[in-house]
A and B are shown apart, each in its own frame.
Chain A
Amino acid sequence: MASATLEHDSHHVVTEKELWKGGKSPFRISYGKVMMWYFLISDTFTFASFLITYSSLRFTQSANWPNPAEVFSSIPLHIFEGVKAPLVFVSFMTFLLIVSSYTMVRAVQEGYRKNKMGVVYFLLPTILCGIMFLGCQYLEWTHLISEGMTPTTAAPVTKLVNFGQLFFVITGFHGLHVFFGVILNIWLAVNAWNGTFDKRGHYEMVEKIGLYWHFVDLVWVYVFLSFYLL
């Protein structure tokens, strides 16, 4: 209905008054994308409350807080046993997420071009990086637990139970987001391959899930900052 009035003047510059009369989005983006952003804002507040708890608890015990370079001093792989390489493994994990963000944004661009194979081609490395990230997290957790750091006990090097509690809850919650991101990306790649989005006429779903995936990377920036850099 409204489209008939909108179509003929697509080059017409809309005034602010017209925008708020309905029919056109004042933000000039679709409902789905706005809602994805709102979800991400609310998720930001969940992560922020975790990280602010971290900050608060760290300040209560600032003198005894473990040094990240000591806690994360080794690479949890057998061939690197005994090698002192502080922060190297987690930097590799960060690198995986940055690379996957790049391939994701390339998939979104291919979606703008309605290039079906391009979308699938760039989603595959994104999925691979996500799975590798989860694998690395598994290795790191196993290593830390074997050293005695669990949600209820402290390793000799961490001294404080709080450090382990916060670490497992926050990186675990982030890992859960990566896990769901991988599942969504697999679903996306299968649907792109099957031509679902060609039939629909647009690849906006790639954009929406892309927003979620970048958010996961964005949260990792702050998890990385809190646990490993400060």
Chain B
Amino acid sequence: MEQHDELPEGHLFLSDSEYAHSRTEVLKTIIILSIVTVVEVSVAIGYDHFNPTGGNFKWLINLFMAVMSVVKVIYIMGTFMHLKNETRGFFLTVLLPFMFLIWAIIAFSYEGGSWNHMRDIINAYNPLNLF
């Protein structure tokens, strides 16, 4: 018993029913993850097959892929990494820092687009063609 002092409080030993339940839950999760991946890859290959030059709905496909990836991450972090069973305080401690990334993605993508539009101006002042 004295060695259990360092053990975290909560769910470190599973009863028979908990064990059976978590086994099915994990099996369900891996099946969902596999299906999502197969769907993503089929959509990517299918879209490329019918629109080899890009097409008009590429943005819609990209949005779909981004949403599907978020679904996968929710399942991996929630079930596999047990985040949904942690306390609310810890859940937020892990999740809130990622809010910074949302802004970083928007800001740096926007900046990249801006460089793209300024390419002609930059090239005019850039005789070595470095950019």
Contact = CB atoms under 8 A, between A and B. Distances in A.
Interface in B55-110: 62, 65-66, 69, 72-73, 76-77, 79-81, 86-87, 89-90, 93-94, 97-98, 101, 104-105, 108-110
Chain B binding surface, main DSSP class: helix
B72 A113 contact: no
Given A109-B19, A113-B13, A218-B73, A229 B44 contact: yes
A150 interface: no
A28 B87 contact: yes
B111 A214 contact: no
A48 interface: yes
Contact of A55 (B5, B6, B19, B109): B109
Interface residues of B, number: 62
Contacts of B87: 26-29
B61 to A, nearest CB: 8
B7 A25 contact: no
A173 to B, nearest CB: 17
B14 A26 contact: no
Interface string A22-35: 00111111100110
Interface in B1-48: 2-14, 19, 22-23, 26-27, 29-30, 33-34, 37-38, 40-41, 44-45, 48
A69 B54 CA distance: 11
B127 interface: no
Contacts of A222: 69
* Most chain A CB atoms below 10 A, which of B10, B22, B80, B87: B80
A52 interface: yes
A200 B97 CA distance: 34
Contact of A202 (B4, B48, B90): B4
A69 B53 CA distance: 11
Contacts of B86: 27-29
A35 B65 CA distance: 32
A212 B2 CA distance: 28
Interface string A198-230: 001110100000110011011001101100111
A61 B116 contact: yes
Contacts of B44: 68-69, 87, 228-229
Nearest to B105: A52
A146 interface: no
A105 interface: yes
Contacts of A68: 44
A210 B37 CA distance: 22
A94 B40 CA distance: 12
Contacts of A191: none
Given A29-B90, A112-B12, A225 B76 contact: no
Contacts of B38: 91
A106 interface: yes
A15 interface: no
B45 A214 contact: no
Q: Return the 9 tightest CB-CB contacts between A and B, nearest first.
A: A59-B112, A201-B3, A56-B112, A27-B90, A30-B8, A69-B48, A102-B30, A56-B108, A60-B115
Given A24-B9, A56-B109, A98-B34, 12 more contacts: A3-B5, A30-B6, A69-B44, A86-B45, A86-B48, A87-B41, A99-B30, A112-B19, A114-B13, A202-B12, A210-B80, A228-B44
